[in-house]
């Protein structure tokens, strides 16, 4: 494929899209749980759902099963950009650093892997932020139009800044998830290769362990990111609910308690687990094919 190996980018994008389709309804319940109960936001002050299952059932009954996939196309578009850049950048950087080390890359280097993962996660998430904003708005149910109409309206009413709403916590969350998830997966996979071999069972267990760590680390930032993205830009600054990441954390803890930062943790983990399993199994199979 020439001097530059594009396979990690292509495989990363394709595997991300497959994983997104397989787990999107769980992501919708997570987003709705994170939005509800904001005592300072009159639109979402009501606690409509008692948990993930209740949210899943009520959404299906009240809005139809189709509502669970509302926002799927911006999510797929996001994975086509975010997943492609993230995994391609991570594995390419990791390979480049390994080639420069004295051991020739025969051993995993945790610090290097963590840096490469955090950089790749933050960069790819910042680039794909507009698709994330579209996804959140459509999942919450405020935007019922198609993706193009939704994009045009956000740009017309809120400007370019509206499409990058929440980019700071989104990039921070993505960097944190990648910094935990990718090095943990690689480390677990290498350690389990001796007893399990480089086979699907190894990939399954490694991805499950990686998802637990990333869910614990990222849920608070995910709550902040979701709330900032769902907040519309208005002309009167006094109506603005959250001024930024830190203000959102402070106001959320002050009005709802520290546990509110872990709203949606169960669906987050339940989504990350299957998402990672589907992704890494798909990714490893694509690697094996070519």
pLDDT of residue 2: 43
Q: Which segments of 101-199 does DSSP mark as H helices, in order?
A: 110-127, 129-140, 147-163, 167-196
Determine how many CB atoms are found less than 10 A away from the CB of residue 214.
24
Position 280 pLDDT exceeds 90: yes
Specify the pLDDT at position 193: 94
Q: Residue 143: what pLDDT? A: 56
Note the pTM of the prediction, 2 decimals. 0.72
* Structure confidence by residue, pLDDT tens digits, 50-95: 888 899 999 899 989 888 888 788 888 888 899 999 999 998 999 8
Q: What is the pLDDT of residue 236?
A: 53
Which of 1-15, 76-90, 127-141 tops mean pLDDT?
76-90
Q: What is the pLDDT of residue 269?
A: 85
Band the pLDDT of 142: cuts 50, 70, 90: low
Find which of 56-60, 95-99, 227-231, 233-237 is predicted with most confidence, using mean pLDDT: 56-60
- In angstroms, rounded to a whole number, what is the distance separating the alpha carbons of residues 117 and 121? 6
Quick check: 134 and 71 in contact, CB under 8 A?
yes
Q: What pLDDT is recorded for position 237?
A: 55
Question: Is residue 28 over pLDDT 60?
Answer: yes
Token digits of residue 158: 């809120």
CA atoms of 196 and 284, how far apart (whole Å):
15
Please report which helix (H) or strand (E) contains residue 267, including its range. helix 265-289
- Residue 47, pLDDT > 90, answer no
Q: Convert the pLDDT of each residue in 152-204 to its tens digit.
A: 888 888 888 888 888 888 898 899 899 999 999 999 999 999 999 999 999 99
Task: Please give the full DSSP string across 213-264, using - where no structure is assigned.
Answer: HHHHHHHHHHHHHHHHHHSPP-S-GGG-S--SHHHHHHHHHHHH-GGGGGTT
Do residues 121 and 178 make contact, with C-beta atoms less than 8 angstroms apart? yes
| List of domains in the chain | 6-289 (1.50.40.10)
Around 85, how many Cα atoms within 13 Å sit in the side-chain half-sphere? 20
- Cβ neighbors of 273 (< 8 A, separation 6 or more) are 207, 208, 211, 212
Predicted local distance difference test score (pLDDT) of residue 3:
56
Instruction: Convert the pLDDT of each residue in 91-124 to its tens digit.
Output: 899 988 888 876 666 677 888 999 999 999 999 9
Please list, in sequence order, all residues whose beta carbon lies within 8 angstroms of the beta carbon of residue 149, skipping any fewer than 6 positions away: none
Query: What whole-number percentage of the chain has pLDDT above 90?
Result: 31
**226-256 burial code (b ≥16 CB/10 A, e <16):** bbbbbbeeeeeeeeebbeebeebbebbeeeb
pLDDT at 235 over 80: no
Query: DSSP assignment, residue 47?
Result: -
Residue range 248-261: mean pLDDT, rounded: 90
For residues 274 and 284, give the distance between their C-alpha atoms in angstroms, rounded to a whole number: 15
Kindly give the residue spans of alpha helices, DSSP state H, lying in 3-109: 7-35, 52-63, 72-100
């Amino acid at each position: 494929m020439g001097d530059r190996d594009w396979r990690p980018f292509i495989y990363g994008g394709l595997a991300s899209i497959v994983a997104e389709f397989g787990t999107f309804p769980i992501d919708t319940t997570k987003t709705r749980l994170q939005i509800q109960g904001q005592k300072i936001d009159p639109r979402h002050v009501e606690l409509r759902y008692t948990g993930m299952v209740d949210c899943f059932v009520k959404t299906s009954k009240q809005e139809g099963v189709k509502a669970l996939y509302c926002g799927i196309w911006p999510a797929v578009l996001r994975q086509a950009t975010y997943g492609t850049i993230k995994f391609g950048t991570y594995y390419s950087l990791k390979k480049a650093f390994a080639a420069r080390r004295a051991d020739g890359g025969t051993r995993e280097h945790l610090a290097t892997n963590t840096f490469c993962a955090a950089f790749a996660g933050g960069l790819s998430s910042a680039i794909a932020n507009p698709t994330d904003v579209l996804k959140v708005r459509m999942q919450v149910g405020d935007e019922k139009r198609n993706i193009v109409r939704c994009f045009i309206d956000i740009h017309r009413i809120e400007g370019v800044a509206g499409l990058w709403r929440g980019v700071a916590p989104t990039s921070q969350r993505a960097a944190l998830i990648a910094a935990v998830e990718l090095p943990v997966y690689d480390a677990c996979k290498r350690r389990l290769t001796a007893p399990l071999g480089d086979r699907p069972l190894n990939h399954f267990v490694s991805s499950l362990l990686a998802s637990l760590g990333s869910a614990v680390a990222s849920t608070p930032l995910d709550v902040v990111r979701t709330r900032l993205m769902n907040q519309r830009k208005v002309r009167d600054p006094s109506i603005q609910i959250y001024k930024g990441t830190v203000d959102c954390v402070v106001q959320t803890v002050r009005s709802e308690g520290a546990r509110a930062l872990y709203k949606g943790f169960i669906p987050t983990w339940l989504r990350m687990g299957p998402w990672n399993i589907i992704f890494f199994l798909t990714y490893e199979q694509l690697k094996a094919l070519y």
